[in-house]
Amino acid sequence: MTFTLQEIAERIGAQVRGDGSRVVEGMLGIEEAGPRHLTFVANPKYRPNLFTTRAAGAIVSADVPEAPVTLLLTREPYRAFAQALRIFHPERRPSPGVSPDARVDPSARLGQDVTISPFVCIGPHVSVGARTVLHPFVVLGEGAVVGADCTLHAHVSVREGCVLGDRVILHNGAQVGSDGFGFVPEGDRLEKIPQVGIVRIEDDVEVGACSCIDRATLGETRIGRGTKIDNLVQVAHNVQVGENVILVAQVGISGSTTVGDRTVLAGQTGVAGHLHIGADVKAAAKTGIISSVKDGSVVSGGPCMDHRHHVRVLAVFKRLPEMRSRLRRLEQEMEARGLGGLPHDRKGGDPGESDP
């Protein structure tokens, strides 16, 4: 499929500056693009590349001045880029049908135009909504409910009784509804607490590869509408995640914690159990959250603190050796002037070094 720059501009609501008749067949990054490509600049630091790119055209912010390439001017270039990408790559659903190599329990209900690939395993009393696509090696446990227009990629499990809304995407190897991690000591053993709740995933949620969302002990583990979860994320039993939350790769959330709407937890952040993380919170990568966090907070560090304060703390942290020298110097001067009697920096005697 090819388009003129003018055609693209019209469909994404951009203004053309330059030759709109040039024909493009796809999009590439500004350094990789050739004369048959459209590219984009969302981050101003890449604007100089507009003078060296081989691309036929570039989607840019409306305030970009002249450039030796046709410009598609728009207020929100990143959003326009996503729109243009969808023009070149319209969603392709595999043709509907139930593979004879799938095993579908006779009590399961399949909606219209579902795609059930080979080696899919659908248990009793499962419901699959219209147009949903199940890739190979997907297993749906007894009584699971999958909405319409979902895509479950290869190696996904949805365990018994779990419920997915519409337009949910589960990437390869995502595991929904495994047992929560709950044990109670019985003498010298750890006795398993039955995990009899479910996972409920609302509409428009996306879950990354090999992410794990545990079923509730009682009730539901919930992922709110529109939330996006990256790869290798752990969501423990009874966690309640709000709407349009972003959980970046390798985040872990412990049991029964709630996360408010639009909150963003960056990569490798960990959250302790039974906490309330507010709405619109931002946590930097690797944050360790061990107490509840108010709406709108920006936090970082482990244990976490207000991010601006953390930045100030880290600035001093890096200079600790220098600070120690200055302190020692002061002590020496005090002593030299007969003002002191202070103990100097001693070797040993630090409980932190000897205890463990």
Q: Candidates 11-19, 53-61, 65-73, 113-121 — which segment interacts with a second copy by CB under 8 A?
A: 113-121
Contact between 85 and a second copy by CB under 8 A: the answer reads yes
Per-residue contact track with a second copy, 179 to 218, x per CB under 8 A? x-x-xxxx-xxxxxxx-x-------x-x-xxx-x-x--xx
Sheet holding 298-300, edge to edge: 97-98, 115-116, 133-134, 151-152, 169-170, 206-207, 228-229, 246-247, 264-265, 282-283, 298-300, 305-306
Assign 44 to helix, strand or coil: helix
Minimal distance in Å, beta carbon 22 to a second copy?
19
Minimal distance in Å, beta carbon 323 to a second copy?
6
Closer of 63 and 318 to a second copy (Cβ): 318
Q: Are 148 and 132 in contact (CB under 8 A)?
A: yes
Catalytically annotated residue among 125, 237, 276, 309:
237
Beta strand 145-146 with 127-128 is parallel
CA pair distance 247, 229, nearest whole angstrom: 5
Contact between 111 and a second copy by CB under 8 A: the answer reads no
Q: Which two tokens stand for residue 348?
A: 């040993």
Closer of 109 and 308 to a second copy (Cβ): 308
Contact between 98 and a second copy by CB under 8 A: the answer reads no
Helical H runs in the chain? 5-12, 77-88, 307-317, 320-336, 351-354
Count of residues touching a second copy (by CB under 8 A)? 127
Contact between 234 and a second copy by CB under 8 A: the answer reads yes
CA pair distance 267, 196, nearest whole angstrom: 30
Per-residue contact track with a second copy, 51 to 80, x per CB under 8 A? -------------------------x-xx-
Contact between 166 and a second copy by CB under 8 A: the answer reads no
Q: Candidates 8-16, 49-57, 62-70, 307-315 — which segment interacts with a second copy by CB under 8 A?
A: 307-315
237 is catalytic: yes
Q: Say if residue 154 is exposed, middle or buried (CB neighbours under 10 Å; 0-12, 13-18, 19+).
A: middle
Task: Please list the helix, strand and coil fractions of the chain in percent, rounded to the nearest 5, in that order.
Answer: 15, 30, 55
DSSP assignments along 214-230, one per residue: EPPSSSEEEE-TT-EE-
Contact between 121 and a second copy by CB under 8 A: the answer reads yes
CA pair distance 180, 192, nearest whole angstrom: 10
Site for a second copy in 317-336 (CB under 8 A): 317-324, 326-327, 329-331, 333-334
Minimal distance in Å, beta carbon 166 to a second copy?
14
Per-residue contact track with a second copy, 126 to 155, x per CB under 8 A? ---------xxx-x-------------xxx
Q: Which of 252, 258, 276, 280: binder of a second copy (CB under 8 A)?
A: 252
Q: Candidates 7-15, 17-25, 55-63, 250-258 — which segment interacts with a second copy by CB under 8 A?
A: 250-258
Which among 263, 202, 275 has a CA at the least distance from the CA of 236?
Answer: 275
Q: Which of 13, 29, 48, 97: binder of a second copy (CB under 8 A)?
A: 29
Residues marked as catalytic:
237
